[in-house]
Structure 1
Amino acid sequence: MPRSLTSGQVSIIFKEVDICPFHYLTRKLYYVNGSIPRMNQPELSMRAKILGMAGLALVLFLVSLDQTVVGTAMPRIIADLNGFELYAWVTTAYLLTETAVIPIVGKLGDIYGRKWITIAGVAGFLISSALCGMASSMEWLVVCRGIQGISGGAIFGTVFTLTADIFPNLKDRARYQGILFAVFSLSSVVGPVVGGWLTDALNWRWVFYINLPLGILAMFVLPIVLPQSHRQPNAKIDYWGALTITVAVVALLTALETAGAGESWGSPLVLGGLIVALAAFAIFVPIERRAAEPIIPFDLFRNRTITSSTIVQFMMGIVMFGVALYAPLFVQGIMGLSASASGMVMMPMAITMPISGIITGQLVARIGRVKPLLLVGVALMTVALVLMTTLTIASSPITISIYMFVLSLGMGMIMPLTTLSVQASVSPQSMGVATSATQFIRSIGATVGTALIGTLVTNGYRANLASHAAQGTPSEALTALHAPNALINQQKLQELTQIMSGLPNGAQLTQALLGTARQVLADAIRSGFLLALGAGLLAVLGALLMTNLHLDDAHRSPGPGAEHAPTPLAAAD
């Protein structure tokens, strides 16, 4: 027994032995500055670690795939279930509930342990996937997608922290965490392709049913191989904090999604949502400052590494989703290529990001420092965005593919590095809330970026199309091309042809108007890429702010900003 323990501490140890003597005998004892000892998890075998990571990679693949897989199936879903007015809500309901749940689950994982929260999330995901596949109406589907998002948030809020439970050593964790981010990147990008293939080959319902066999396999593996993280039995749940952050997130994301879909920022729904979000957040902050166990401890952000990682994650969310949405529109709407050709142009993103994440994990484990690699990642991302702003109507698909390769190379490096640096800067007791907070902020950044870039592109396109169109162009023709995606919508293009066919030289006028629309859209998308470039430059500043953390030093001692839960220093003799 350690010589520095007091008699009071000895009695606590004997209570632990009475409750579960096997755990006491098989775990290492840690103590810090004479504080009460805590039990550390036994070391897992390498076989158990690999199986655990395989299970986590599988459920992460399913959750991130479901963020994008439904989009290509939506036309068939609408044709089958009707309810076009709920089109956007099939995706929005999932993203809303998933994002709102992430910070809450991160905190609950720190209090009660992450293992069974994750398994419960997988079970809920399976049930809701089956219900989505059986949907007989759009209302049913939207509600089930919301439930699916809650389960997805439970998984997403714990899966990256579970990597830390499996691999306590930071260098080992770096090697394997890169694989998880590779899975996330790959599934997010290939989602539309998988959704289209399942819809064409089988049925749109298989977009949801595909989750069942893979999820059931994970349900068999995870209970056996996942370790249970340290619990905090005396901690109190911050119910008011959970309620106010949920209201704030739902209101904010609803307003942003509505604005991104083309609604005016001054409309009652958008403006009202922003006001509710601001009011809820204004209530949330003082609640968190007084709470014994806050959902998001603001003290964490006194740590430069956590603050800089949060900035980088938020800005990367803006860049990633802004480019992923509008690069395909540039290829199809301006260059006139097919959806499959557009997929080939985007292929570097699907291939490079996962490979970049895996290689980065190996490099940081060897080098032992995060900041130099992070600076390389944000620099590559920013250089690629500069190149994207030079695209014109005359650019070739190969040019865009090269730019996407550089962009994906940088983004693939950023995600695992920022998460690793956050985890290296906090104690094990705060690992869940810190990790989930950065993932939560990245999700918010993605929604903010989608809304801002979408508004910029849509408004710029509409305003310039009206001013650049040839004099005497029928207003009905401009209405047919009112939305940017009209240039890839065959129904709208046929409508335009019919409108213009009654005019003298109608065919030539139609081609001239389409040429004008393509040029205007190119300018509008380029302005969106400029906004993304601004986010990239802010990401560079955020990376420069980070301390030059060394993984060996971080493994021995905690970073600042985690004083409420000190990190174990060394094993007792």
Structure 2
Amino acid sequence: MSAVPLAGTEPVPAAGTAAPAGLYGAQALRAMLGIALVAMLVALDQTVVGTAMPTIVAELRGFEQFAWVATAYLLSSTTLLPVLGRLGDLFGRKPFVIAAIIVFTGASALCGQAGSMPALIAARALQGVGGAMIIATAFTSIADLFPDTAHRLRWQALMSSSFALASGIGPVLGGLLTEHFGWRSVFYVNLPLGLLALVLVVAYLPRSRGTRAEGAGFDLPGALWLSGGLAALLLWVELGQRAGAWFAGALPLWLAGGVLALLLFVRRQLHARHPLLPLRLLAIPRVRRVVLCALAAGAVMFAALFYAPLLLQGAYGHSPHEAGLIVTPLVLAIALGSLINGRLYGRLADPESLLLPGWLLLGAGVLGVQAVGAQTSAWLAAGAFLLCGLGLGFLFPNFTLLVQTSVPRAELGVATALVQTVRALGSMAGTVVLGVLVTGTWRTAMDAAGSGAGAQALRPLFADPQLLLDPAGMHQATTLAARLPDGPAQLAQLLDAAHRALAAGIHLGLLLAAGLAALVLIALLAGRWRRRGRVAEAGT
């Protein structure tokens, strides 16, 4: 069995597996350009498609299936991450990086060719498989290529910067492509990037030796329990969010099934000869702390990234373009934070301490976003998002680095995938909590808003906050109000209540997210104080 290193040390190679010597110079640059392009494929796709979705729905006539375009990708990518991380450990990562590029790029072409919403949804699910392979193997490849932490940091900063850059230009690029070349072009843009990445990876990425050669096995029953459990929980979240009720109809069965499958997965891991996710990794204090931080960061990031644009557009009336400009500093600041973090990481005796300013900046940024009002300057709002991005720039790269430098080299892939999966679970938890808050606040306010026959006739149109972002729905409401006695005045009252209710619900969710960030920061400080106390006692 591989020895588990002390916190802060380099990963220990598996028995019989020599650690790679590392790449330098032009070979390292060419290999990392390929990996960076692979990461950009996923980052660009996550943001470029959203801009084109209204046009896609209008052409393919499938508004009722709108959300499944995103859900199909999320389902396949999230549920397969840990499985693919383990397979990369077993068989080496290069074959999976190559397969990931082929699958993702091919699925992008199928998305562009889709003639119906079901065809697009199926292609997006296949794209999610390729995305999971990229996240599970490309990021871990950096640890294979650069065993030395100081050397790895420089390339990790390149990866974070390319990922943030692609995310930042995605919405703008998506709008330009859709307007001038049609919505299919937002998928076809992946083809030249994928081809270039494939050439670089095939030619210059070294092939690492997997642990399969040392007799390690793959836990297929564990993989099925884990993937099934994650899929059931994700479907519960997605279906509950759309229904506006989390325990209606068959939804509790999805929740119960997901929890049961995950419990059976844990039981399997305790007894399997070759567990998919060795639970002993969680016995490493640093890994345990990072996993909990990743879970909390996923929930906090979800509040800042998903609901903040809804706040700006739905509650305060900003156009999508204006809201995009206000939120853009968050994405760009992630790259800046990652670069600063990379310069500091190797100079500190305890690089885990960099999580402290990360959480402080993230909490302050979310609190700033929570304070944004209808009259707040766009510059001040952008500054709050800037703080959020800087905080995330200190957190996300360190989650990966701290885990990778704390586990045996034979388990780098599954440990890295664990962090990504836990972060996704945190986002799912954030979805439930904020969804309940926003929906509950909205319904309470709308039930009490307005009076008289006009309000009663208009109120069904205010079933959910989507009305505030839907021009067709607003036109329907205005047309109906014009036919009702005192209808325009009643509509104005309902709209005022709707704007206030949406802002109140999101503000409460952001306040809870800032509180969670503060709790994590306090817990990390308290843990450091206890560890220093134990060290001092041991030295006396």
TM-score by length of 2: 0.91
Unaligned runs of 5+ in 1: 1-31, 549-573
Alignment of 1:169-568 (within 5 A): 169-232=148-211, 233=213, 234-470=215-451, 472-541=453-522, 543-544=524-525
Alpha-carbon distance, 1:505 to partner: 4.8
* Distance in 2 of aligned mates of 1:357 and 1:220: 28
Residue in structure 2 matched with residue 17 of structure 1 by the alignment? none
CA deviation map 1:336-367 (0-9, x unaligned): 12111111111211221111112211221233
- The 1:146–1:317 alpha-carbon spacing in structure 2 relative to 1, beyond 3 Å, is same
Amino acid at match of 2:247: G
Amino acid at match of 1:135: A
* Contact 1:371–1:547 (8 Å) recurs in 2: no
Amino acid at match of 2:184: R
Alignment of 1:40-79 (within 5 A): 40-79=19-58
Amino acid at match of 2:227: T
Alpha-carbon distance, 1:57 to partner: 1.2
* Distance in 2 of aligned mates of 1:373 and 1:36: 32
* Contact 2:19–2:147 (8 Å) recurs in 1: no
Residue in structure 1 matched with residue 4 of structure 2 by the alignment? none
* Distance in 1 of aligned mates of 2:432 and 2:180: 33
CA deviation map 1:482-525 (0-9, x unaligned): 22131122112111212221345544443333222211211111
SS of equivalent residue, structure 2 residue 379 = helix
2:88 to 97, 109, 112: 109
* Distance in 1 of aligned mates of 2:339 and 2:282: 28
CA deviation map 1:399-435 (0-9, x unaligned): 3212111111111111011111111111211111111
Amino acid at match of 1:491: A
Residue in structure 2 matched with residue 98 of structure 1 by the alignment? 77
* Contact 1:60–1:159 (8 Å) recurs in 2: yes
Amino acid at match of 1:58: L
- The 1:255–1:418 alpha-carbon spacing in structure 2 relative to 1, beyond 3 Å, is same
* Distance in 2 of aligned mates of 1:75 and 1:81: 10
* Contact 1:305–1:546 (8 Å) recurs in 2: no
* Contact 2:455–2:491 (8 Å) recurs in 1: no
SS of equivalent residue, structure 1 residue 474 = helix
Alpha-carbon distance, 1:530 to partner: 2.1
Amino acid at match of 2:73: Y
Alpha-carbon distance, 1:469 to partner: 3.1
Amino acid at match of 2:259: L
Amino acid at match of 1:347: T
* Contact 1:102–1:440 (8 Å) recurs in 2: yes
* Distance in 2 of aligned mates of 1:210 and 1:356: 28
Amino acid at match of 1:333: G
- The 1:396–1:466 alpha-carbon spacing in structure 2 relative to 1, beyond 3 Å, is farther
Amino acid at match of 2:280: D
Residue in structure 1 matched with residue 538 of structure 2 by the alignment? none
Alpha-carbon distance, 1:473 to partner: 4.4
SS of equivalent residue, structure 1 residue 265 = coil
SS of equivalent residue, structure 2 residue 301 = helix
- The 1:85–1:510 alpha-carbon spacing in structure 2 relative to 1, beyond 3 Å, is closer
* Distance in 2 of aligned mates of 1:407 and 1:38: 41
Larger Cα-atom Rg: 1
SS of equivalent residue, structure 2 residue 298 = helix
TM-score by length of 1: 0.85
* Contact 2:161–2:338 (8 Å) recurs in 1: yes
* Distance in 1 of aligned mates of 2:40 and 2:527: 30
* Distance in 2 of aligned mates of 1:386 and 1:377: 14
Q: Which moved more, 1:143-152 or 1:460-469?
A: 460-469
Residue in structure 2 matched with residue 159 of structure 1 by the alignment? 138
Alpha-carbon distance, 1:185 to partner: 3.2
Task: State the identity %.
Answer: 35
Alpha-carbon distance, 1:36 to partner: 6.1
Alpha-carbon distance, 1:189 to partner: 4.6
Does 2:119 match 1:140? yes
Alpha-carbon distance, 1:275 to partner: 1.0
* Distance in 2 of aligned mates of 1:106 and 1:508: 58
Q: How many corresponding residue pairs? A: 516
Q: Which moved more, 1:346-355 or 1:193-202?
A: 193-202
* Contact 2:42–2:131 (8 Å) recurs in 1: yes
SS of equivalent residue, structure 2 residue 347 = helix
Alpha-carbon distance, 1:393 to partner: 3.8
* Distance in 2 of aligned mates of 1:491 and 1:109: 48
* Contact 2:454–2:484 (8 Å) recurs in 1: no
Q: Which moved more, 1:491-500 or 1:209-218?
A: 491-500
Residue in structure 1 matched with residue 109 of structure 2 by the alignment? 130
* Contact 1:100–1:245 (8 Å) recurs in 2: yes
CA deviation map 1:422-463 (0-9, x unaligned): 111112111111111101111221222123212321221122
SS of equivalent residue, structure 1 residue 70 = helix
* Distance in 2 of aligned mates of 1:86 and 1:494: 22
* Distance in 2 of aligned mates of 1:67 and 1:237: 30
SS of equivalent residue, structure 1 residue 268 = coil
* Distance in 2 of aligned mates of 1:187 and 1:538: 32
* Distance in 2 of aligned mates of 1:315 and 1:197: 35
- The 1:469–1:296 alpha-carbon spacing in structure 2 relative to 1, beyond 3 Å, is farther
* Distance in 2 of aligned mates of 1:176 and 1:199: 33
